[in-house]
Amino acid sequence: MAEISPGLFTSLCVGIKGKDFIIVGASKRSLYGPIIISERAALIRIFGDKVIVAFSGHIPDVQYMFRELSWFFQRERLNRERELSIEEVAKYTGLILFSFRLFPNIAYGIIGGVDLDGRTRLYDLDPFGSILEENYVAAGISAEVAYGLLESSYREDMSLPEAKDLIVRTISSVARRNVLVGRFAEIAYIKARDGGSGKETVKLY
């Protein structure tokens, strides 16, 4: 994935795929260069109880991507008269990012959810539109540190509480070493079996 100056980043996002769930966490401190804009930024959206989208990056670009995806969901549901697959959402998002490749949107994306066949899918996207399907993803501030923590603790048979604990521990560990992450994180999840979803805010340390 491409590298861009951390001075343009806001948030650290982490996602984990389980056998019957997707869970994503994002720090809530919003930055514009060296200035703290907010400690309560919302950088995760759940669309239709089936898709979770999270972005880290430059605040105007992140907001633009959320607006585009909101319009995409509304339009395509009416056009297709069915739910969208996770791959379709990821490819459309990648297409938007790729279309601005000469003047890229500074937005690193995590897209996951329960697909039409009931399987869970998790995708990693960079500002130039590259798409990778992964079991776990970290994007944004100090993502390389977060990856080290995820790699050492991730298991394919993790339960939802175990995955939530790993995400909170990962973001907390990075926050203790990088003041740009902040002290609060938002956690969102989608479950495949009962179709449930939810969000909560946690204090990191």
Q: What pLDDT shows up at residue 7?
A: 52
| Angle of the 59-80 helix axis to the 86-99 helix axis, nearest 10 | 130
pTM of the model: 0.90
Say if residue 85's pLDDT is above 60.
yes
Q: What three-state secondary structure class fits 19?
A: coil
Q: What is the pLDDT of residues 147-205, one digit of tens each?
A: 999 999 999 999 999 999 999 999 999 999 888 898 899 999 999 887 789 999 999 87
Say if residue 6's pLDDT is above 50.
no
Q: What pLDDT shows up at residue 9?
A: 67
Say if residue 130's pLDDT is above 60.
yes
Average pLDDT over residues 103-130: 93
**Which structural domains are found in the chain, ordered by start?**
6-203 (3.60.20.10)
Q: What percent of the chain has pLDDT over 70?
A: 95
